[in-house]
Amino acid sequence: MLINKAKLERILSKYPSISRPKKQYEQYETPSSIAASMLWHAFIRKDITGKIIADLGCGNLKLGYGALVLGAKLVVGIDIDESLVKQAESILRDLGGDYLAKTLLINSDIRDLSINSVDTVIMNPPFGVVRRNHGLDILFLKKAMEISESIYTIHKYSPGLTRIIEELASAFGFRIVYNEQLLFPIPMLFETHRRKIYRVRAIFYVLRRK
């Protein structure tokens, strides 16, 4: 299928939203524009087509689905929330084709995850803004570095966090080949939200093993 970034974004915009998002898991859906940009960066760097992709904290597998559209050989989606794993399976089944056959869905806490290595990780991990989740985004990144050769990930921006990621990349034998600051929109989803939309300063990273 001939595709470009704009067409990919249109395809992702039609993907069903997360049903009943849970605040404790920071289940904020990746906007289609950001998801398409992340996936397109991976696609043009030849990190998707024919590759085994992992989506850590996959939610209902929007990023993973995008990877399948771009020709991934297999997508491994991992999420702690069993209801979202089931929703992802239902969505892929309804979409038809071979999407479900090319997907392995795992209901697991990232801290307990044990899987074989993959080629690429594409993820939008929890930002760690909920107190109980502090540092969880770094745990996700460490797991990604343990199992893959290339990583496409987005994190809440802070100067301190960028230093941590740079140090972590060096320690695990990765180099940062691209980064881009952006505004990540979070709609009013939970009772504690007071604005119609929050725009969180975030940073997108591409990391490759040296």
Give the number of C-alpha atoms closer than 13 A to the C-alpha of residue 153, restricted to the C-beta side: 30
What domains can be seen in the chain, in order of their start residue?
29-209 (3.40.50.150)
For the cut 90, the answer to whether the pLDDT of residue 143 exceeds it is yes
Report d(CA 186, CA 178) in Å as an integer. Answer: 24
pTM equals 0.92
φ, ψ at 186 (rounded to 5°): -120, 115
Q: What is the pLDDT of residue 191?
A: 60
Block residue for tokens 């080629």: 119
CA distance 191 to 162: 31
- pLDDT mean over 24-50: 92
Cβ count within 10 A of residue 194:
7
How large is the average pLDDT for residues 186-198?
A: 65
Residue 176 phi, psi dihedral angles, 5° rounding: -85, 115
**Would you say 114 and 146 are in contact if contact means Cβ atoms under 8 Å apart?**
no
Look at 65-74, 115-124, 125-134, 179-188 and tell me which has the smallest mean pLDDT: 125-134
- Smallest Cα–Cα separation from 14: which of 56, 66, 64, 84? 66
Expressed in angstroms, the distance from the first to the final Cα of the chain is: 32
Position 2 scores a pLDDT of: 73
pLDDT of res. 199? 87
